[in-house]
Amino acid sequence: FTTDGRLYGLAKEHLLIESVNVVGWDPISLVYRGWRKRIGAGLERRLGFSPRFGTKLFLNEAERGSPWPMQIDLSPAYESDQTMFIGLRSHGIWKSENAGIDWSREWEGPVDYVTSIQLSPEYASDRTVFAGIRGSGIMVSRDAGQTWHEANDGIDVSARKDLARRPNYVNDPPLQRAIDDVAIVASPAFATDHTLFASTSSGLFTSTDGAEKWVRQPVIAAYPDSPISAFALSPDFGDDKIVLVN
């Protein structure tokens, strides 16, 4: 930011860019306009549903509807590699290596929201990306998004189903977010302590081995599995070990 003065935002179908030298936000479209999308959308409008050819839908889930980015994270080496990842609602995880101009879909996954994207502070060398998936836990890529695997060892993501049965669940959006969403934050000293924090439907968890295993942290002793709605690490966490939790 000190050299390019850019800010990034997200909106339906767009990545937003603002520069300190320009008034207003410059939108970059994220809409996929390939031939299958154009023809399939036309057929769907005329038929009222997406047609099947054999056993496959003409449009896959990621091609239907509007891409709606929910989360964004930039490479710690962004000034040189211009890499950013975005997590979308029902459209998986996308990557750009030219400051948001062109995108590739790195993970299609299920239709659940991507609720968190965290690039390793050492991404330039370890190529690691962590993602929180609504209701499904944590996914990790060790090769810059090419392949992904679940990283829920020690985390019980099934608790979401039990909590969703609470009487006030339907009328309590903050409770819904706390139950469904997964947030991931890396320690500022990740290069040496390999520490990650994750808030899930069943509490706050830490990993000290880069997401291989997780341990629950009993924030409230009487309710160790209470959903966490928000948390943050001190910028000096490597030294002061301070974590703020709501």
Tokens of 64: 């239907």
pLDDT at 170 over 60: no
Tokens of 109: 């996954």
pLDDT for the residue 65:
65
pLDDT at 162 over 60: no
* CB count in 10 Å sphere of residue 172: 13
- Neighbouring residues of 139: CB distance < 8 A, sequence distance ≥ 6: 107, 109, 130, 131, 133, 148, 149, 150, 151
What's the rounded mean pLDDT across residues 132-148?
90
pLDDT at 51 over 70: no
pLDDT for the residue 54:
63
Percent of the chain with pLDDT over 70: 72
Range ranked top by mean pLDDT from 33-37, 40-44, 92-96, 171-175? 92-96
- List, in sequence order, every beta strand (DSSP E) within 100-242: 104-107, 114-119, 129-133, 137-141, 149-150, 183-186, 196-200, 203-207, 215-217, 231-233
pLDDT for the residue 46:
64
pLDDT for the residue 157:
67
The pTM score is 0.79
Tokens of 174: 């903050």
Estimate to the nearest angstrom the gap between the alpha carbon of 94 and the chain centroid: 10
- 3-class SS of residue 71: strand
Percent of the chain with pLDDT over 90: 39
pLDDT tens column, 177-233:
545 678 999 999 999 999 999 987 778 899 999 999 999 988 877 676 677 778 999
CA 151 – CA 31 distance, rounded (Å):
30
Is residue 88 within a helix (H) or strand (E), and if so which, with residue range?
Answer: strand 84-88
Tokens 């339907």, residue located: 170
pLDDT for the residue 62:
57
pLDDT at 135 over 80: no
Binned at pLDDT 50, 70 and 90, residue 134 comes out as: confident
Burial per residue of 214-233, b for 16 or more beta-carbon CB atoms within 10 angstroms, e otherwise: bebeebeeeeebbbbeebeb
Nearest partner of 231 among 239, 120, 220, judged by Cα? 220
Which pairs count as long-range contacts for 86-90, CB under 8 Å and 24+ apart, including other chains? 86/10, 86/15, 86/30, 86/117, 87/113, 87/114, 87/115, 87/116, 87/117, 87/131, 88/114, 89/113, 89/114, 90/61, 90/62, 90/65
Residue-averaged pLDDT of the chain: 81
Nearest partner of 131 among 198, 68, 192, judged by Cα? 198
